[in-house]
Structure 1
């Protein structure tokens, strides 16, 4: 990594942390704000959350091509300004149309920022540093979300709408800070990705046709959908409903469980990084599937076992902690793998495609898991144990189609260094 790349990376990561801090201020309280503080009702709050998610599905199919044509920096700055406008208007929204329009702006802006940031990280890193760069991004995101949620919880007062206006205003400012910090970075082009590119598949077409013609990327997208559906798509819907209905968990304990999840990520991220970066990515992802299957079994004990309430609570919190361990292992594997699969001219489109898959999973996950977690306790646990084991199977299948540079870039980099510095044999007649 050059000096310019390192300086740009530091600015990108700082802006990423600050924007996550701003999101943490408001995301946990959006439903309460719309339904109770603004007194617009539970139905309107549900519509607002749905619009927030649907806006992402609308803009992401077009985002990747713009990133690849114009560069990720102007896209990120534009998205941050859009999200800032959405957050600020949400803070003053007192009617249904205003709340829905604000959610659309906020959802679209935050969705576009994901692939733009990921592409900037790819441009500012090489194969040897990319794994750590994405691990640091995930670490800072969770740290920012956790601290933001903690401080935001101390500031909000349901009897004072102005306290929520303050939170959304702070979030709006954080997005503008992201735009300013990232916008001041001098963006170098990343090292060529030729060593990691697929051969024989990248010329299948352009845009979505090229991605659909790239078998390894399609497999990774299917795997990503299952990952986000079985984990993130259940945190605040199915798993929360299961915990309160089947395990008798108090609503306040849900906050403790989410805090445990964040704490494990923050503590474990760099502890597991050395373990992860020296192993095949496909096998690391496969191991995450096994960890999450065990997490769902622990959740099953919390709700279906016959232990005390204290044991059920401890098991439920442990479920979130185990998910956090798996997340810490995934962050340095999945996102860099998307970048290493992408042709150099399509990094933005590959990142956007994977972000779209994530949003689809996050939309479908609560719709399926919520009702099951609330009413079908046994089938709910069995279903997601099987989904987690499916992650393991899909990861191992994906590994068979990856090149050494894609599956284990550390060894591939080492072999390139050896080949470059191998001494020439001395001629016999010298």
Structure 2
């Protein structure tokens, strides 16, 4: 587990070097124009959508370890190709390799964490993964910003080379991991697993709780991550008059809240039903959108608007810190033992779809329809709470509140066990 988490942190560190500067690199440094830069970002996302439907079955058949190593090598090749690309064809091809490789890593890493963790440690394992990812992205972006120079294409080659090196380190670390022969995953799953009568996509679509979780996941990612660098950024600059530099401060505040709060919220999360934790996140994000509405539609000073906008991103970070130890373990607990990879890949696909649709819808609304934009996403956030509570009715008690069920079982049986031991003595 330590090696998996170390590799996860290093790959996030490498991504942080380049992702914030990809648009600038293609449009300005390589002088290929804004249209090509937009196409590169679209290809980056579409490549993920193309490979994820096939990733889960491969993970379940071959195991997550070879899939992760192959994805890391593919991403390293894409990063190196991007660093030397000088034509439209070359940058688009590099983006396809990089997008496909990084997308496959997500469900492979998630499955490795599930295989390598006992059920009672899984919540903290996924919380640590999310913490290290954000820490790596933040540090990578900070150092990358110090190294990058638009007047020197060589500085971008250095960034992409560092990114490729991090992916190669991830592959090397993964190659030293010895996965358990028997995955430590059977715990909260119901006896029938929700997957009778077949396997693959048909079984997943027949699993009501998983379908509900995927719908909820789409709304979660659409209403938060899908707006960060598109609709919310456009709304902030157009409606609230936020300086572009303030967007960087807001994203930094988001990362800082995640890093600071991740382990502080664990006790809160572990003591409550997962469905109610997700419902609470919906309420927190509704408040965040209302504060963003004040920043753009209120009559306060520019300083107040700036503070409100940064607070919005901070509240989003608090919600993310609550979701990371909640949603990913729930996907693992819903999956039949033979389909963990497919369930993780399906959820990653839902996330990628939301990240593709979110900017396309939110960007134009945030830039031009300020009032309707805020109202829409306040309603989406409240919808998260409603969907989460409905999901809770489809979960078993152990899936919805694993820690609470274990503590009640221990309390109920411990005296009986002691009495039995005393009789035997």
TM-score by length of 2: 0.97
Partner Cα distance (2:417, 2:404) in 1: 20
Secondary structure of the structure 2 residue equivalent to 1:306: coil
Partner Cα distance (1:315, 1:152) in 2: 28
Say if 2:52 is the partner of 1:49: no
Partner of 1:14: 6
Partner Cα distance (1:192, 1:326) in 2: 26
- For residues 360-393 of structure 1, the C-alpha deviation after alignment (integer angstroms, 9 at most, x for no partner) is 0000000000000000000000000000000000
Partner of 2:93: 101
The offset of 1:419, in angstroms, is: 6.2
Say if 2:188 is the partner of 1:190: no
Partner Cα distance (1:414, 1:205) in 2: 35
Residues 404-423 of structure 1 correspond to what in structure 2 (within 5 A)?
404-418=397-411, 421=414, 422-423=416-417
Within the candidate set 367, 370, 374, 1:381 is matched to 374
Residues 249-328 of structure 1 correspond to what in structure 2 (within 5 A)?
249-328=242-321
Partner of 1:203: 196
- For residues 252-310 of structure 1, the C-alpha deviation after alignment (integer angstroms, 9 at most, x for no partner) is 11000000000000000001111111110000000000000000000000000000000
The offset of 1:404, in angstroms, is: 1.3
Partner Cα distance (1:75, 1:23) in 2: 19
Say if 2:332 is the partner of 1:339: yes
Q: Which runs of 5+ in 2 are unaligned?
A: none
Return closer, same or farther for 1:205/1:194 CA change in 2, 3 Å cut-off. Answer: farther
Partner of 1:3: none
The offset of 1:181, in angstroms, is: 0.9
Partner Cα distance (2:384, 2:197) in 1: 28
TM-score by length of 1: 0.96
Return closer, same or farther for 1:198/1:302 CA change in 2, 3 Å cut-off. Answer: farther
Residues 86-97 of structure 1 correspond to what in structure 2 (within 5 A)?
86-97=78-89
Return closer, same or farther for 1:423/1:198 CA change in 2, 3 Å cut-off. Answer: closer
Say if 2:395 is the partner of 1:402: yes
Partner of 2:56: 64
Q: Which runs of 5+ in 1 are unaligned?
A: 1-8
The offset of 1:194, in angstroms, is: 4.6
Partner Cα distance (1:53, 1:132) in 2: 29
- For residues 332-365 of structure 1, the C-alpha deviation after alignment (integer angstroms, 9 at most, x for no partner) is 0000000000000000000000000000000000
Partner Cα distance (1:291, 1:86) in 2: 38
Within the candidate set 19, 22, 25, 1:30 is matched to 22
The offset of 1:190, in angstroms, is: 2.7
Partner of 1:173: 165
Contact 1:198-1:341 within 8 A present in 2 as well: no
Contact 2:188-2:334 within 8 A present in 1 as well: no
Contact 1:241-1:370 within 8 A present in 2 as well: yes
Partner Cα distance (1:252, 1:335) in 2: 33
The offset of 1:126, in angstroms, is: 1.4
Partner Cα distance (1:29, 1:414) in 2: 48
- For residues 68-107 of structure 1, the C-alpha deviation after alignment (integer angstroms, 9 at most, x for no partner) is 0000000000000000000010001110000000000000
Partner Cα distance (2:384, 2:191) in 1: 23
Say if 2:209 is the partner of 1:216: yes
Within the candidate set 134, 142, 152, 1:142 is matched to 134
Partner of 2:118: 126
The offset of 1:425, in angstroms, is: 5.9
Return closer, same or farther for 1:177/1:205 CA change in 2, 3 Å cut-off. Answer: same
Aligned CA-pair RMSD: 1.5
Contact 2:185-2:332 within 8 A present in 1 as well: no
Partner Cα distance (1:318, 1:121) in 2: 33
Within the candidate set 326, 345, 363, 1:370 is matched to 363
Contact 1:194-1:344 within 8 A present in 2 as well: no
Secondary structure of the structure 1 residue equivalent to 2:227: helix
Secondary structure of the structure 1 residue equivalent to 2:120: coil
Partner of 2:227: 234
Secondary structure of the structure 1 residue equivalent to 2:69: helix
Partner Cα distance (1:300, 1:199) in 2: 46
How many residues align? The count is: 421
